[in-house]
């Protein structure tokens, strides 16, 4: 718990699903609804979430670096990735 206290700035009594639902409800402009897809979509969308945006950018950079490395090694590549990432990487991959 000391690790979480250092990261979060406080020590939660428990790290349970209920704790995270309460935290979600406190920090978001809507309440948590597991049956509402748009609740999840909104929260994880990089346009609405700076953490998700940063993670998405790091993932794209890592993916491009890996593709570039394998391409230089003359490996055959078959890549399956989401359309948003594919569109962002299209020009870079095309120019390999």
In this predicted structure, the answer to whether residue 16 has a pLDDT above a threshold of 70 is: yes
- Ranges 43-47, 82-86, 87-91: which has the least confidence: 43-47
Regarding predicted confidence, which is higher, 68 or 13? 68
In this predicted structure, the answer to whether residue 68 has a pLDDT above a threshold of 80 is: yes
Mean pLDDT calculated for residue range 85-94: 83
pLDDT tens, residue by residue, 30-57: 888 888 877 777 777 777 778 778 888 8
3-state secondary structure the chain: CHHHHHHHCCCCCCCCHHHHHHHHHHHCCCCCCCCCHHHHHHHHCCCCCHHHHHHHHHHHHHHHHHHHHHHHCCCCCCCCCCHHHHHHHHHHHHCC
**pLDDT value of residue 55:** 83
């Amino acid at each position: 718990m000391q690790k979480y206290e250092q990261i979060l700035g406080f020590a939660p009594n428990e790290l349970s699903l209920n704790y995270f639902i309460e935290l979600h409800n406190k920090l978001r402009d809507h309440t948590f609804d597991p049956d509402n897809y748009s609740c999840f979509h909104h929260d994880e969308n990089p346009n609405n979430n700076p953490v998700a945006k940063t993670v998405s950018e790091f993932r794209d950079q890592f993916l491009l670096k890996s593709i570039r490395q394998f391409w230089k090694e003359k490996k055959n590549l078959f890549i399956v990735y989401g359309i948003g990432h594919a569109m962002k990487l299209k020009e870079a991959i095309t120019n390999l």
